[in-house]
């Protein structure tokens, strides 16, 4: 495949995207990483063997391997059920990290809407500038990338679309949440999605600017720090009540 230079960028990228031979191993490492599809057991040595043998050409091929070929089958099976933000991050779209993946997921709500978005529509997303908007648009126009995404969905990867808030419904705008401990009624990803859908932000660390600490079971040291800083602490029941008041 050709190597092309994106307009306004110095970095040279292979035009074949997700199936570029030169980038295949790196793309698979990224796809399997913890913040992406979280496929434990798919280490560098196994990726080398799978790619060099020709058994895996794109991330979708992983889901057609049998237990004799891949030791991390349980983690691979779990990864079929994911979130839109994780899936976007796993695709390795140029310049799109996990924070931007979350922004895109909650702004567009579905992969279909994002893939069809114009550059102007992408520019309406906070923190996305012209170069990034052009790169995202180009990624989804690339025929090879479209095929890999279709193959991944055919292999059973799924997620829930997110509700897109109506204009003016960002009632948690300006409020920052930190999550700690285990929530009984929802995953961390689901809690984060609910907060971000209402315009709030989720941080990994407590500071004086934190609005709420959402505290599940076995909270650890963040609870003590929140108390010391005077940050309001919500248990899971209080967190759900707060969300319900915003509906």
CA 141 vs. chain centroid, Å, equals 20
- pLDDT tens-place values along the chain, 247 residues long: 443 444 433 333 454 556 665 678 888 999 999 999 999 888 888 898 888 888 898 899 999 888 766 766 788 889 999 999 999 999 999 889 988 999 899 889 999 999 999 988 888 787 788 899 999 999 999 998 999 999 999 999 999 998 875 544 567 878 999 999 988 877 777 788 778 777 788 998 999 999 999 999 988 899 999 999 999 999 999 998 888 775 5
Contact 163, 198 (CB under 8 A): no
SS3 of 50-76? HHHCCCCCCHHHHHHCCCCCCCCHHHH
pTM of this structure: 0.62
Give residues with Cβ within 8 angstroms of 87, minimum separation 6.
37, 111, 152, 157, 159
φ/ψ region of 92 (left if φ > 0, alpha if ψ in -120 to 50, else beta) reads left
**Which SS3 state, helix, strand or coil, does residue 222 take?**
helix
Q: What is the signed CA dihedral for 237, 238, 240, 245, rounded to 10 degrees?
A: 140
- The string of DSSP codes covering 183-216 is -SSS-HHHHHHHHHHTT-EEESS--TT--EEEE-
Give residues with Cβ within 8 angstroms of 108, minimum separation 6.
114, 117, 164
C-alpha to C-alpha distance for 133 and 152, rounded to whole angstroms: 24
């Amino acid at each position: 495949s050709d190597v092309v230079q994106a307009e306004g960028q110095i970095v040279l990228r292979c035009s074949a995207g997700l199936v570029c031979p030169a980038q295949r191993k790196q793309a698979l490492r990224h796809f399997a990483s913890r913040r992406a599809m979280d496929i434990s057991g798919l280490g560098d040595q196994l990726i080398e063997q799978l790619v060099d043998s020709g058994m895996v050409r794109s991330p979708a091929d992983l889901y057609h391997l049998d237990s004799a070929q891949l030791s991390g089958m349980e983690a691979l099976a779990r990864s079929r059920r994911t979130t839109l933000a994780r899936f976007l991050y796993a695709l390795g779209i140029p310049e799109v990290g996990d924070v931007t993946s979350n922004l895109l997921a909650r702004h567009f709500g579905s992969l279909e809407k994002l893939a069809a978005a114009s550059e102007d529509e992408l520019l309406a997303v906070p923190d996305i500038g012209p170069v990034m908007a052009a790169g995202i648009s180009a990624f989804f126009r690339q025929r090879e990338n479209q095929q890999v995404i279709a193959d991944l969905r055919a292999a059973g990867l799924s997620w829930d679309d997110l509700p897109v808030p109506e204009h003016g419904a960002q009632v948690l705008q300006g409020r920052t949440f930190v999550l700690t401990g285990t929530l009984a009624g929802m995953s961390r990803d689901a809690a984060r999605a609910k907060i971000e859908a209402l315009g709030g932000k989720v941080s990994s660390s407590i500071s004086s600017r934190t609005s709420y600490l959402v505290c599940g079971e076995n909270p650890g040291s963040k609870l003590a720090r929140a108390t010391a800083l005077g940050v309001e602490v919500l248990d899971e029941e209080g967190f759900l009540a707060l969300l319900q008041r915003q509906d």
